[in-house]
């Protein structure tokens, strides 16, 4: 609960902040936004992650101070775990032994923290960090504003995903008033990739297939594609959304090979098609329109299983819509 988080911050002094491995804009932006909030309150804080910070987020204030760690190597009064479904997601050993504060906006998040603050109505954890700043009486500095805005703009797909609410836009407006330059953030996110991203995209787009009368689209990324492109983590950000540009496509599946017979899968959808329910059937989770899962086995079989579950979800939506009419 928010009140518990406020009380903890007021009564403790030394904090660690982390997010999931291969962090996205919400993970990095929210972590840094919280870092600057804690610093403004006179607290000791640092952001730790397992791995590198993607290039798109390195322009954020404080990004250069993020430490790459594999295990907890310092003492903290508490560790904030940002946007993680479970305590293993950050990939940091010893985290489960810490006093943890689980802050997430995914309804599928496990309540693994010593303190759990879950708000599934928030468009991004960044929105929650803004609310925390207000609740604790902090000032929205330019540093906090830039980091939180990055979280919002990336997790809402530049404010065009269905998780964008009037509250989200009001928060964004306040952040702009605090000094955020939206064009600069968008430039850093969408026009700051190396050529390896373009090469990887060329290969991935060539694998697009349509299913279910064109309503479902699938894409694949092999380890060999990544090697040929010279790509790194983050170069494929947003690829899953590409097929959704087609009018008839309502759901997209992006399968990335991460090992022999092992795949990380991203799901995206339009409107009220709930891909989180599909992801949950495979042990994954997420939002109604954006979810993820891991799966193993033969590639064709795995893809067919996911497409079939998506087809069932879409057909059920069609039935419900017809009954409602």
Give the chain's mean pLDDT: 94
Both 63 and 211 in one domain: the answer is no
Both 96 and 146 in one domain: the answer is yes
Both 17 and 128 in one domain: the answer is yes
Both 205 and 103 in one domain: the answer is no
Last residue in a domain, options 152, 169, 190: 190
Q: CA–CA separation, 322 vs 117, rounded Å? A: 37
The pLDDT score that the predictor gives to residue 217 is: 98
pLDDT band, residue 323 (cuts 50/70/90): low
Both 245 and 156 in one domain: the answer is no
Per-residue pLDDT reduced to its tens digit, 262-320: 999 999 999 889 999 999 999 998 888 889 999 999 999 999 999 999 999 999 887 77
Q: CA–CA separation, 103 vs 8, rounded Å? A: 13
Last residue in a domain, options 163, 190, 217: 190
Helix axes 25-40, 142-155, angle to 10 degrees: 160
Both 165 and 184 in one domain: the answer is yes
Q: CA–CA separation, 46 vs 16, rounded Å? A: 5
Radius of gyration of the chain (CA): 20
**Which residue in 67, 24, 69 sits closest to 50, CA to CA?**
69
Both 178 and 202 in one domain: the answer is no
CATH of the domain at 27: 3.90.1640.10
Give the count of beta carbons closer than 10 Å to the beta carbon of residue 122: 24
Please check the confidence at residue 153 and state whether its pLDDT lies above 90: yes
Name the residue with tokens 């996205």: 24
The pLDDT score that the predictor gives to residue 119 is: 95
Give the count of beta carbons closer than 10 Å to the beta carbon of residue 191: 8
Give the count of beta carbons closer than 10 Å to the beta carbon of residue 132: 21
The pLDDT score that the predictor gives to residue 278 is: 96
CB-based contacts of 73, cutoff 8 Å, min separation 6: none
Both 173 and 214 in one domain: the answer is no
Percent with pLDDT over 70 in the chain: 98
Please check the confidence at residue 324 and state whether its pLDDT lies above 70: no
Q: Which domain holds residue 224?
A: 195-324
Both 250 and 153 in one domain: the answer is no
The pLDDT score that the predictor gives to residue 325 is: 56
Both 95 and 204 in one domain: the answer is no
Both 133 and 221 in one domain: the answer is no
Q: CA–CA separation, 250 vs 273, rounded Å? A: 7
Percent with pLDDT over 90 in the chain: 84
Please check the confidence at residue 322 and state whether its pLDDT lies above 70: no
Q: Which one has a higher pLDDT value, 318 or 144?
A: 144
**Which parts of 75-134 are beta strand (E)?**
78-82, 100-104, 115-118
**Which residue in 136, 109, 163 sits closest to 34, CA to CA?**
136
pLDDT band, residue 234 (cuts 50/70/90): confident
The 3-state secondary structure of 223-289 reads HHHHHHHCCCCCCCCCHHHHHHHCCCCCEEEEEEEEECCEEEEEEEECCCCCHHHHHHCCCCEECCC
**Which residue in 115, 85, 75, 63 sits closest to 19, CA to CA?**
85
Which pTM value belongs to this model? 0.84
**Which residue in 255, 262, 223 sits closest to 239, CA to CA?**
255
Both 209 and 313 in one domain: the answer is yes
CATH of the domain at 221: 3.10.310.30
> Stretch 234-252: mean pLDDT, rounded?
93
- Domain tally, the chain: 2
Last residue in a domain, options 171, 190, 209: 190
pLDDT band, residue 74 (cuts 50/70/90): very high
pLDDT band, residue 233 (cuts 50/70/90): confident
> Stretch 195-212: mean pLDDT, rounded?
97
């Amino acid at each position: 609960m928010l009140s518990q988080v406020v009380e903890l911050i007021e009564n403790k002094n030394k904090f660690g902040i982390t997010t999931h491995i291969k962090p996205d804009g919400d993970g990095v932006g929210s972590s840094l936004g919280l870092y600057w909030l804690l610093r403004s309150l006179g607290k000791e804080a640092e952001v730790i992650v397992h791995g590198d910070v993607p290039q798109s987020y390195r322009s954020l204030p404080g990004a250069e101070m993020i430490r790459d760690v594999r295990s907890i190597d310092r003492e903290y009064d508490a560790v904030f775990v940002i946007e993680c479904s479970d305590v293993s997601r950050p990939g940091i050993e010893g985290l489960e032994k810490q006093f943890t504060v689980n802050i997430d906006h995914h309804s599928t998040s496990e309540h693994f923290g010593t303190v759990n603050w879950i708000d599934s109505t928030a468009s991004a954890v960044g929105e929650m960090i803004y609310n925390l700043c207000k609740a604790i009486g902090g000032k929205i500095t330019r540093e906090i504003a830039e980091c939180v805005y990055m979280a919002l703009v990336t997790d809402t797909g530049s404010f065009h995903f269905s998780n964008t609410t009037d509250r989200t836009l009001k928060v964004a407006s306040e952040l702009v008033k605090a000094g955020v330059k939206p064009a600069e953030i968008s430039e850093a996110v969408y026009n700051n990739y190396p050529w390896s991203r373009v090469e990887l995209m060329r290969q991935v787009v060539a694998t697009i297939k349509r299913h279910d009368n064109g309503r479902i689209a699938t894409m694949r990324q092999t380890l060999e594609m990544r090697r040929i492109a010279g790509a790194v983590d983050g170069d494929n950000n947003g690829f899953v959304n590409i097929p959704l540009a087609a009018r008839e496509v309502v759901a997209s599946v992006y399968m990335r090979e991460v090992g022999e017979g092992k795949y990380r899968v991203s799901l995206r959808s339009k409107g009220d098609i709930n891909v989180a329910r599909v992801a949950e059937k495979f042990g994954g989770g997420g939002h109604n329109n954006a979810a993820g899962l891991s799966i193993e086995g033969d590639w064709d079989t795995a893809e067919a299983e996911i497409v079939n579950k998506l087809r069932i979800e879409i057909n059920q939506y069609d039935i419900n819509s017809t009954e409602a009419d």
